[in-house]
Copies of this chain bind each other. A is one copy, B any other.
């Protein structure tokens, strides 16, 4: 299987996830500005998840750039990543509707954690299929971001039971960390 269909399918699923997430924002009841206030937490959760999915789409694209042949392992590692990303809408909705209550905030962190692990597994299976001195392995390097993100999520999950705001701060912090453009893969590609 060439990587084109894998890319197209992943793009399709990501585009749909990012878009149906907005369906969790319910049309407000009432017609005054006050009717919008209860929607604010849902809206902020939506913004956060939109940014995360944008980051995943971007990084996923760069990572697949280094792939030539798609093995069965890569295919299922990719579907596994899409599975956890598909849980963004419901966990975002639960956190937003309940105004960042403790358990929904922790569960959101759990979904972020599982998606990060799934991304790391996909990265591993691509490197494994490319052989030892692989392009992606060199591009990823020490992978500070990839390794610290799960650590931050692991910190944020119990922190939600102290104060959900600590968790939200950590989620926003990790997102900002990834928003800083990541030129590792581009650099290694340019060196070739």
Contact = CB atoms under 8 A, between A and B. Distances in A.
B61 A27 contact: no
Contacts of A5: 7, 11, 61
A93 B8 contact: no
Contacts of A28: 94
A152 interface: no
Contacts of A175: none
A58 B24 CA distance: 28
Interface string A1-41: 10001011101111111111011110110011101100000
B9 A8 contact: no
A86 interface: yes
Contacts of A14: 9
Contacts of A107: 36
A103 B32 contact: yes
Nearest to A180: B72
A15 B16 contact: yes
A90 interface: yes
A121 interface: no
A27 B103 contact: no
13 contacts: A5-B7, A9-B15, A11-B12, A16-B19, A17-B19, A18-B82, A20-B22, A23-B23, A25-B90, A27-B97, A31-B101, A35-B103, A36-B107
Given A23-B89, A27-B90, A50-B79, 17 more contacts: A9-B14, A9-B15, A13-B18, A16-B19, A17-B19, A18-B82, A19-B20, A19-B86, A20-B22, A22-B87, A24-B27, A25-B90, A31-B98, A33-B103, A36-B103, A36-B107, A54-B79
